[in-house]
Amino acid sequence: MNRRKFVSSMLALPAMPLLLQSCEWGDVSFDFPINVHSDRNRGHAIFKQKNLPVKDTIQVETLIVGGGIAGLSAANHLPHKDFLLCELSDRLGGTSAATNHKDLPLSQGAHYDLEYPQNYGESVLGLLDHLGIIEQMTWKSSWGFKDQQYIIPHEIKNQCYDHGKFRGDVLREGEMKSAFQQLLLPYLDKMVMPTRLIEEKYKHLNDQTFIDFLHQNMKVDDQFIRGLDYHMLDDWGGLSSQVSALAGIHYFQCRPYYREVNQLFSPPQGNDYFVSKLASQVPSEQLQVNSLVRSLEKKEGSWNAEVLDLQSSSISKIKAKNVIYAGQKHALKYILPQYYPLFSENDYAPWLVMNFVLNKPFGEFGFWQNEMIVEDISFLGFINSSAQHRGLQEKQVLTAYYCLPSDSRKDLASISMNKNTIVQKTLNYLKGYFNQGIENRVEAVYLNAMGHAMPIPKPGFLFQDKNEQVKNEQLAFAGVDHHRLPLLFEAIDSGIAAVEAIYRTSKVK
C-alpha cells in the first residue's frame, strides 16, 4: 500500500463530515479492488430528458413502486397475480439487499432479525410461516426460525470495544444501568410489533424525545448517553435526543431481552434471505429491476405511470387500477407531488456499509456483532462472518457500518472519488480493534452508499396512517417511512396493510 501524505493519527480527527469530505487528506491507494454501489444516479435519472422513446404500453391491475421488503410483501399479499413491481436498482431488496464476492454472499444493509413473541401481529407471522421461515417454538411462547444453522450462538453474539477496551455490553454495568432497566420494566410486553398494535395508553410516548423522557425520570451521565446514542443510531438512525421515547423504549422492551435468551437469526447474506424468500413466491417476470417509476398521474379513474428502463433509456407506459407506493417518500415531490406534503416531515439517515473480504481469516476472533465506540459517533463497528459460518473458512467478511447525519447526504455523491480514504479510515478503526493492521489480509472491499436509508422515528413520526387520507384513490403507501419503525417486521406489515387498504378488507391483525 502506498500512503503518500497520509495523516497517520486519524483517530484524532473529528467526527462525521470528514469521513465523506476527506479528499484533502491526500492520496491513498491499495492493491485490492474497492467496488462502490450507489443508486443515487439511478434515482436522479428522474430528471432525465422527458421525450425518450416509448418501449411498450402495459395494463395491469396493480403497480407496485419499489422492490424493498415492503413492496415484495405487498406483492405476496395481493389477492390476484395481475401486478407489476418496479424497482429502480439493479437488484431487489432496497436497504435489505446483498451482493456477492465470487460465491461469497455479502450483506449490504439489514443483517439480522430476532425471534417473535406470540403477541406480535398475526399477519406478518402468518406470511413468514407461509414462506417456511418461522415456526412456533413449543418450549416457549415465541416464533423461532426454521433455518437453525443461521442462529448466532448466544455466547458469541456481541462484544463492545470502547476506546481500546472490551466489555460485554455497550451500556456499562452499574447503578445507572440498573435504574434504567427498572424504569423501562413496566413496558415489557407492551412494545409490540407492528407498532400500529401498540395500545392507546402508550402512544403519548411518541410525543417526546427519549432523552427528555429519561431526564424526567432518572439521572443519566454523558457516558451513559453515549451508549444509548450508539444503540439509537444503530437501529433508528438518530440520537436519543432525536428519536421518540417510544422508539427508545421499544428498542429495549420489544422482547424479554433481560429475562430470556432470544434467538438471533443472521444468515451470511443478511436480510436478503427474506428478500429471496419473498421474491421466490411470485413470477420473476413481474419483478422488474432497473425500472424507475418517474411519474404517476390519475386520469379517468386509472393510474398512468411512466417507467424509465435504466438500461435501454426508454419508457414503458403503465396503466393500472391500483398503485402501491413502497418507494422512499421524499421522491413523491417529483413523482406524485400532490401527496408529498403527507411525508414532508420525514427525515432520513444516510448509511454506508462496507464489506471487507479477507483471504486470511482471523482464527480466534469470532464475535458476531462488534459494537465500537470511537470518537466518530457515526461509526458503529462491524459484523464478523466467522460467527455466521462457524468453523474455519477460507475467507472471512467484516461488514462495517456508518450511520451518517442527514445533512451529509450530499457528500455521498463523492463516494467513488473518496473511496480510498474512507476505506483507510475504516481500516484504521479495525486496526484499533484487532490491535494489528489488517490490510494485508484484504482481498476486496465493497461499499454500499444509501442516501435515504432509514426514516428517523422522531417525536410524532409513528401512528400516522396516511392510507386513510387516500382511501378513495386506489392508492396506498407502504414502507417503513410510512410512519413505522425501521425494522423488517414493520416493513412487511406495511406492505400487507397497503394491500388491505386498497382492497378495503380488514383482515390485517
* Contacting residues toward ligand FAD, per CB under 6 A: 39, 65-71, 86-89, 94-96, 109-113, 271, 292-293, 326-328, 331, 335, 351, 353, 401, 450, 453-454, 479-480, 486-488, 491
Beta carbon of residue 367, minimum distance to ligand FAD (angstroms, whole number) = 16
- Measured from the CB atom, the residue of 214 and 264 that comes closer to ligand FAD is 264
- Measured from the CB atom, the residue of 208 and 464 that comes closer to ligand FAD is 464
List the grid coordinates of 221.
Answer: 451521565
Beta carbon of residue 437, minimum distance to ligand FAD (angstroms, whole number) = 26
DSSP E strand boundaries for 273-330: 287-288, 291-299, 302-309, 314-325
- Measured from the CB atom, the residue of 19 and 70 that comes closer to ligand FAD is 70
- Measured from the CB atom, the residue of 152 and 214 that comes closer to ligand FAD is 152
How does DSSP classify residue 21?
S
- Are 156 and 266 within 8 A, CB to CB? no
In angstroms and rounded to an integer, the radius of gyration of the C-alpha atoms of the chain is 23
Beta carbon of residue 57, minimum distance to ligand FAD (angstroms, whole number) = 18
- Measured from the CB atom, the residue of 18 and 450 that comes closer to ligand FAD is 450
Place of cell 431487489: 92
- Measured from the CB atom, the residue of 183 and 282 that comes closer to ligand FAD is 282
Beta carbon of residue 394, minimum distance to ligand FAD (angstroms, whole number) = 26
Provide the β-strand partners of residue 151: 265
Beta carbon of residue 70, minimum distance to ligand FAD (angstroms, whole number) = 3
How does DSSP classify residue 4?
T
CA distance 438 to 432: 10
- Measured from the CB atom, the residue of 106 and 214 that comes closer to ligand FAD is 106
Please, how many CA atoms are within 13 Å of residue 44, restricted to the half-sphere of its CB? 7
How does DSSP classify residue 244?
B
Beta carbon of residue 353, minimum distance to ligand FAD (angstroms, whole number) = 5
List the grid coordinates of 372.
Answer: 465500537
- Among 200, 326, 178, smallest CA distance to 258 is for 178
- The count of other CB atoms within 10 Å of the CB of residue 62 is 25
- Measured from the CB atom, the residue of 326 and 442 that comes closer to ligand FAD is 326
> In the chain, what is the greatest distance between 2 CA atoms, to the nearest angstrom?
67
- Measured from the CB atom, the residue of 150 and 224 that comes closer to ligand FAD is 150
CA distance 463 to 455: 14
Beta carbon of residue 466, minimum distance to ligand FAD (angstroms, whole number) = 14
Beta carbon of residue 455, minimum distance to ligand FAD (angstroms, whole number) = 9
Beta carbon of residue 506, minimum distance to ligand FAD (angstroms, whole number) = 22
- Among 249, 86, 234, smallest CA distance to 183 is for 249
Beta carbon of residue 465, minimum distance to ligand FAD (angstroms, whole number) = 15
Q: Residue 194: is the preceding peptide bond cis (ω within 30°)? A: yes
- Measured from the CB atom, the residue of 361 and 486 that comes closer to ligand FAD is 486
- DSSP element (H, E) containing 369: strand 369-373
CA distance 328 to 348: 9
Helix 210-217, helix 245-253: angle, nearest 10: 80
